[in-house]
Amino acid sequence: MIISEEQAVIILKQDGVVALPTETVYGLACNAKSKTAIEQVYKIKNRPADNPLICHFSSMDEILKEVITPADFVLALMKILSPGPVSYLLNLKPNSLLRAATAGSNKVVARIPDQENFLRMLSLLDFPLAAPSANTSGKVSPTNASMVEYDLGNKIDGIVDGGNCIIGLESTILDCTNKNKIVILRPGAIGKKEIENLLVQLELNVTVIENIISNEVTPGTKYRHYSPVTPVYKINDIHSHSFSANETLILVLQQLDEHKHFINELIQKGVMILNLGSLTEMEKIASQLFVNLKMLDEQKSVAAFMLPIDWGTSSIGMAIANRLSKVIL
Ligand code: TXA
Ligand code: MG
């Protein structure tokens, strides 16, 4: 059910759970300090109880009320990158009520979303919003309101429709709890290169490390993510699988052009073609990626196959490759 921002604010104040748009993906939001509301989010998503929830704030000042003051380089980066698609793992103050959202952890992942509906609602609330992606645990993250409705519509108190998410991939998560280094725990639209460039501009001598997975913090790695119901397999060559009707070939525009004639034959056989878009427009591919993956299920495709794709070395390309690697069996 689509609801207005005003209705969502009332529901959130009463410990309800609503889906809200952000620039990355839709979030399943509730009062981050309310144990009752947080419990509902875990139940609705069927999320393992030890997987903490990311918290959303209206400003840096609001974040700093809850966390032990991070290093100066972290503050400098936050000033530039937030609001935006970047989240920061920070140490909580000893008495912070956000432990309700962090599954008891002394650290919180915090972010300021760059989305007008979300920011307006935060400005009307006197608490931060816990909001994991608004999907059943293990499913593809939703990037429009109808995807949320399809997956969780009958379990939640409403959806604020903010249209399509501009970025379409979840935020980059940076571990900012170290003195002289930043660890990228989850790749996203803003990556190592962008962060390193900013640090150089700011004349800060900080190392950026990618994806070091410790036992303690494992965002997006411990649990399987982003899976459509349709199984997706990798094939090395378009001829290495003999396609049947109701199967899908996933590719990019460049591959579609390269294998035009063979693909026409496949289409005549009843094989579905899922074109992710052109490699020259990676931002567009990212923003449509989860909608496209969802299409596999909507079209009741029995299996999907994907050719190797060179996603290059841009941050957005690497983030797309990361999400697809979690989809492929
Ligand atoms: O773009 C995003 O980050 C979206 C939008 C809605 O903001 N949210 C999102 O939430 O992707 P979620 O829960 O699907 O992914 C957050 C990841 C999870 O893998 C979780 O394990 C990790 O962040 N995480 C959250 N809090 C954490 C904490 N205190 N310590 C370690 N990992 C944490
Ligand atoms: Mg998620």
Contact 168, 176 (CB under 8 A): no
Residue 328: strand pairing partners:
232
Residue 215: predicted pLDDT: 39
**Cα 161 to Cα 198: distance, rounded to the nearest angstrom:** 34
pLDDT at 217: 42
Q: Ligand 1: which residues within 6 Å by Cβ?
A: 22, 24-25, 27, 51-52, 54, 87, 89, 102, 105, 107-109, 111, 113, 131-133, 170-171, 173, 217, 219-220
**Low-confidence residues of the chain, pLDDT below 70?**
212-226
**Letter string b/e over residues 163-173, b meaning 16 or more CB atoms within 10 A of that residue's CB:** eebbbbbbbbb
Q: Can you tell me which residue has the tokens 């998410």?
A: 165
Specify the pLDDT at position 329.
86
Take residue 178 and report the two structure tokens written for it.
């170290």
CA 313 to chain centre: 20
Check residue 228 and give its pLDDT: 87
- What SS3 state is found at 91? strand
Q: What integer pLDDT is reported at residue 227 of this predicted model?
A: 80
| DSSP letters spanning 135-146 | S-TTSPPP-SHH
**What are the tens digits of pLDDT across the range 189-214?**
999 999 999 999 999 999 999 974 54
> Ligand 1, residues 50, 54, 137, 212: which to mutate, most atoms within 8 A of Cβ?
54
Q: How far apart are CA 206 and CA 174, in angstroms?
A: 13
